[in-house]
């Protein structure tokens, strides 16, 4: 019988086969796959040899052993010649020995082409079935078995890489704990009296000291635990200051089974190790990475995670290269009078090996980089980025929806360093003409140095949401994200790289120049929004209330801003049909082209009036600058020129909360001066914001009594409102020199549209204006939508656009 790597010597003892007394048996493995029982016909020495099929049959080897070896070698050569690898070495020094038959070296390597093919299949399918393996083996002229081995080895290799990574993290944590432990021991050796500052007397154990002792025991346990785990990954014991492992261990739900090697099969030792996150408040950063048990599914998960980790590391590498390398990777160019850089694709391909496969056919590349100083420190920014909710709050107009699908690693030592998570996101440009970009991506955070952090995103094309197999992927994010470097003044320098590939045909021609210059989804927009939002946070954190009339309390300010935030979020969700609300698109014949009308039921939401809500949105081109358009729309005195709610007169600002240094960033409360008695209980809540990437004017009628509650610091969640408003962006024409999308060549079927794209007088510096209304058309949620309601909202939208055009003297 035989055990792994050992032979039974026939007398009950077990010896390694490379010390067998038969001399030549210690030669390179001669037990090749084609070895068969028929080779050994003579009786004699009993030797355990296992053929490839693993039958473990005992074969008798006779005196003509050498002769048989020749046969084996001949077979082996035959086997090698079938491997399809032509790069087999000619032979070793032994081949010159005339006493022995010429022998090729067993070793060879697959050709680079073969490896490339194998790698590419591995990326798609790390675990191919027999059919796939056979197919590949035929194609590559390899034995099916070789393909199988290759995949097996590659999986093992991935696992080893993962373990190595886990190991390094563990080691870091170990070092930290050890230092902590030492300092505590030190503190205990020379106790100091807290009252007098002198040395504490023996026998006097202060409360603090008792706590230190308890803490010390806990740390020692933790250290032991980490040492044991590190030992497992290192394959050798890691020394620790204490020796006992399990005596202090509390019970934990997670156990790690550790197989003992050596005489495999003779014994298996299972050691229970606590890995719980709840252990004494100290979490293991790897508890989420390591498979608790070794079942098939956990191994699959482990493999998937290791692939994610490999992808994340490659993406991080690429992000850092993209952020730190200038020419020739990024070529400086002047766009719209503003300095920017353009990605040199040849250099990019040379510098960055593809990490998520080839660009899908028909997709175009969008790559942008932007650097800016932001009033936030790197650590805080990283915390925000790694929290889906806070991330969405930071970029409310850009992120329609996001969630964390899985936290693969939570980070090391209580920080986000090493944190890796799988996320889902819906990115938006505020226009019905630009579809939402839905992406599943990995987000990986790494601290590169003291005060230097990087967060990278990269698409993973796996679709975990099997409930919706129809999901059409129209874009994917290549390694994108930011490198943040703390500056001494509390600011940080943020370098943002946004790299995506998308199906341009899904974007309306009017918006293609904007999108292709990166002003839609690109780095400029992320950085501009980040700067504006951080400035807003800094201002709001200032203690002095900054509303001009001083009529609002601090609590009221907070409530009003929260209400405004909800209003703006709902506005964005209505424009882009994000899945936050389940909108039904209307395709009625009387809906004007380029106006998207959607409807939904509002029930059980105290923040909205109950009933049927109709949303209508359209985007038009206007030959005026974005700034001029924004200033016009936010000016309460000019409101009567387009807003029916103003009752033909100017509006008056009753309250103003600044959200930024730019006066355009604020939340205000407006009242129509020409107010009729019937509407006397209504005010307008308005939020406006502007940055380098665009601007927004969002408003909603609100009840005076409800607003009084809010301004007094009451809960704003019960204020029912439906937002309307405008989103303004530059038309992109002045930004893109060689854009392939021209608004002039708009869809042929929209010649009668009101989007102004057929305006022959267009000039550089125009704007794209999105107008959107949400209106309650029936206060019964189950009521049917009438044609009249759709007509009303259609008229409202086209009238408003016409009025704006007239007021700005830009009618066709």
Q: How far apart are CA 417 and CA 413, in angstroms?
A: 8
Residue 79 lies near DNA (rule: CB under 7 A): yes
Tokens of 110: 């697959």
Ramachandran region, residue 469 (left: φ > 0; alpha: ψ -120 to 50; beta: rest) = alpha
Q: How far apart are CA 570 and CA 573, in angstroms?
A: 5
Residue 159 lies near DNA (rule: CB under 7 A): yes
Residue 53 lies near DNA (rule: CB under 7 A): yes
Per-residue mark of binding to DNA, 83-122 (x: CB under 7 A) = x-x---x--x------------xxxxxx----x-------
Residue 2 lies near DNA (rule: CB under 7 A): yes
Tokens of 658: 């600044």
Least Cβ distance, residue 94 to DNA (angstroms): 9
Write a three-state SS string for 586-654. Answer: CCCCCCCCCEEEEEEEECCCCCCCCEEEEEEEEEEEECCCHHHHHHHHHCHHHHHHCCHHHCCCCEEEE
Candidate list 210, 264, 786, 795; residue touching DNA; CB under 7 A? 264
Candidate list 22, 41, 152, 333; residue touching DNA; CB under 7 A? 152
* DSSP designation for 756: -
Residue 299 lies near DNA (rule: CB under 7 A): yes
- Nearest residue (CB) to DNA, 153 versus 802: 153
Candidate list 21, 198, 203, 265; residue touching DNA; CB under 7 A? 265
Tokens of 44: 């004699």
Q: Cα 698 to the chain's mean position, in Å?
A: 30
CA distances from 224 to 563, 619, 639, 718 (A): 51, 63, 70, 53
Q: Which stretch binds DNA (CB under 7 A): 22-30, 205-213, 541-549, 617-625?
A: 22-30
Q: How far apart are CA 25 and CA 237, in angstroms?
A: 34
Residue 373 lies near DNA (rule: CB under 7 A): no
Q: Which stretch binds DNA (CB under 7 A): 175-183, 254-262, 420-428, 627-635?
A: 254-262
Least Cβ distance, residue 353 to DNA (angstroms): 14
Instruction: Return all residues near 548 (Cβ < 8 A) that are at least 6 apart.
Output: 655, 656
- Nearest residue (CB) to DNA, 138 versus 213: 138
Least Cβ distance, residue 98 to DNA (angstroms): 19
Residue 692 lies near DNA (rule: CB under 7 A): no
Residue 157 lies near DNA (rule: CB under 7 A): yes
Tokens of 520: 């839609």
Least Cβ distance, residue 87 to DNA (angstroms): 9
Residue 54 lies near DNA (rule: CB under 7 A): yes
Q: Which stretch binds DNA (CB under 7 A): 123-131, 359-367, 537-545, 666-674?
A: 123-131
Q: Considering only the C-alpha atoms of the chain, give the largest distance between any 2 of them, rounded to a whole number of Å.
A: 117
Instruction: Return all residues near 649 (Cβ < 8 A) that are at least 6 apart.
Output: 640, 672, 673, 674
Residue 10 lies near DNA (rule: CB under 7 A): no
Residue 146 lies near DNA (rule: CB under 7 A): yes
Residue 33 lies near DNA (rule: CB under 7 A): yes
Residue 228 lies near DNA (rule: CB under 7 A): no
What residues does 373 pair with on adjacent strands? 493
* DSSP designation for 421: E
Residue 155 lies near DNA (rule: CB under 7 A): yes
Q: Which stretch binds DNA (CB under 7 A): 39-47, 125-133, 272-280, 328-336?
A: 125-133
Residue 50 lies near DNA (rule: CB under 7 A): yes
End-to-end CA distance of the chain: 94
Q: Which stretch binds DNA (CB under 7 A): 165-173, 256-264, 372-380, 615-623?
A: 256-264
Apex 592 CA angle, 587 and 596, nearest 5 = 55
Least Cβ distance, residue 17 to DNA (angstroms): 8
Tokens of 297: 């599914």
What residues does 614 pair with on adjacent strands? 599, 775
Candidate list 26, 549, 802, 806; residue touching DNA; CB under 7 A? 26
Return the residues of window 544-563 that contact DNA according to CB under 7 A. none
Residue 129 lies near DNA (rule: CB under 7 A): yes
Q: Which residues bind DNA (CB under 7 A)?
A: 2-5, 16, 18, 26, 28-29, 31-33, 48-54, 56, 76, 79, 83, 85, 89, 92, 105-110, 115, 127, 129-130, 145-146, 148-150, 152-153, 155-157, 159, 259, 261-262, 264-265, 268, 294, 296, 299
């Amino acid at each position: 019988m035989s055990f792994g790597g050992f032979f039974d010597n026939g007398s009950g003892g077990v010896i390694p086969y490379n010390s067998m007394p038969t001399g030549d048996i210690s030669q390179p493995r001669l037990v090749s796959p084609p070895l068969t029982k028929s080779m050994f016909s003579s009786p004699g020495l009993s030797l355990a040899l296992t053929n490839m099929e693993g039958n473990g049959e005992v074969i008798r080897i006779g005196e003509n052993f050498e002769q048989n070896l020749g046969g084996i070698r001949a077979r082996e050569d035959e086997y090698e010649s079938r491997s399809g690898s032509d790069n087999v070495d000619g032979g070793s020094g032994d081949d010159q020995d005339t006493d022995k038959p010429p022998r090729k070296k067993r070793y060879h390597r697959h050709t680079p082409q073969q490896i490339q093919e194998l790698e590419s299949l591995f990326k798609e399918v790390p675990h191919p079935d027999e059919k796939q393996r056979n197919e590949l083996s035929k194609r590559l002229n390899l034995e099916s078995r070789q393909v199988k081995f290759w995949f097996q080895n590659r999986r093992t290799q991935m696992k080893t890489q993962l373990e190595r990574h886990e190991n390094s993290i563990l080691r870091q944590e170990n070092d930290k704990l050890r230092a902590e432990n030492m300092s505590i021991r030190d503190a205990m050796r020379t106790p100091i009296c807290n009252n007098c500052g002198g040395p504490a007397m023996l026998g006097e154990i202060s409360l603090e000291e008792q706590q230190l002792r308890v803490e010390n025991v806990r740390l020692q346990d933790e250290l032991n635990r980490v040492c044991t785990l590190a030992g497992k990954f290192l394959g050798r014991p890691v020394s620790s200051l204490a020796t006992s492992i399990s005596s202090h261990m509390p019970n934990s739900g997670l156990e790690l089974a550790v197989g003992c090697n050596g005489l495999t099969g003779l014994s298996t030792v299972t050691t229970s190790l606590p890995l719980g996150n709840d252990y004494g408040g100290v979490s293991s950063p790897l508890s989420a990475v390591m498979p608790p048990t070794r079942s098939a599914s956990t191994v699959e998960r482990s493999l998937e995670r290791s692939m994610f980790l490999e992808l994340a590391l490659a993406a991080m590498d690429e992000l850092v290269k993209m952020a730190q390398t200038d020419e020739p990777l990024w070529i400086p160019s002047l766009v719209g009078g503003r300095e920017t850089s353009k990605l040199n694709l040849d250099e990019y391909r040379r510098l960055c090996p593809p990490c998520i496969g080839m660009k899908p056919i028909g997709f175009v590349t969008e790559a942008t980089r932007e650097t800016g100083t932001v009033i936030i420190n790197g650590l805080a920014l990283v915390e925000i980025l790694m929290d889906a909710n806070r991330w969405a709050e930071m970029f409310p107009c850009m992120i329609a929806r996001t969630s964390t699908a899985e936290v693969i690693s939570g980070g090391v030592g209580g920080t986000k360093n090493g944190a890796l998570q799988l996320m889902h996101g819906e990115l938006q440009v505020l226009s019905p003409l630009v579809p939402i970009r839905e992406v599943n991506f990995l987000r990986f955070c790494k601290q590169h140095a003291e005060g230097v952090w990087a967060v990278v995103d990269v698409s993973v094309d796996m679709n975990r949401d099997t409930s919706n197999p129809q999901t059409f992927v129209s874009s994917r994010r290549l390694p994108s994200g930011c490198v943040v470097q703390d500056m001494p003044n509390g600011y940080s320098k943020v370098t943002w790289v946004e790299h995506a590939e998308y199906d341009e045909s899904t974007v309306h021609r009017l918006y293609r120049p904007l999108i292709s210059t990166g002003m839609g989804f690109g780095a400029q927009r992320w950085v501009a929004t980040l700067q504006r939002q951080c400035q807003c946070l800094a201002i709001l954190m200032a203690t002095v209330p900054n509303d001009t009339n001083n009529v609002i309390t601090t609590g009221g300010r907070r409530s009003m801003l929260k209400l405004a935030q909800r209003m703006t979020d709902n506005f964005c969700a209505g424009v882009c049909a994000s899945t936050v609300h389940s909108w039904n698109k209307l395709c009625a014949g009387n809906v004007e082209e380029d106006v998207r009308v959607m409807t939904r039921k509002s029930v059980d939401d105290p923040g909205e009036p109950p009933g049927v809500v109709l949303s209508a949105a359209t985007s038009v081109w206007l030959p005026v600058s974005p700034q001029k358009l924004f200033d016009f729309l936010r000016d309460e005195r000019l409101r009567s020129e387009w807003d029916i709610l103003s009752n033909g007169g100017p509006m008056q600002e009753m309250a103003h909360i600044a959200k930024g240094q730019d006066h355009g960033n604020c939340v205000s409360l407006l009242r129509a001066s020409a107010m009729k008695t019937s509407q006397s209980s209504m005010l307008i809540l308005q939020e406006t914001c502007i940055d380098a990437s665009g601007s927004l004017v969002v408003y909603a009628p609100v009840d005076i009594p409800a607003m009084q509650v809010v301004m007094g610091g009451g809960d704003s969640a019960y204020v029912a409102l439906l937002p309307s408003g405008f989103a303004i962006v530059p038309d992109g024409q002045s930004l893109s020199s060689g854009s392939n999308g021209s608004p002039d060549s708009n869809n042929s079927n929209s010649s009668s549209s009101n989007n102004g794209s057929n305006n022959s007088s267009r000039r550089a510096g125009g704007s794209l204006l999105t107008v959107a209304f949400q209106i309650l058309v029936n206060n019964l949620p189950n009521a049917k939508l009438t044609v009249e309601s759709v007509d009303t909202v259609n008229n409202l939208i086209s009238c408003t656009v016409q009025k704006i055009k007239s007021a700005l003297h830009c009618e066709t």
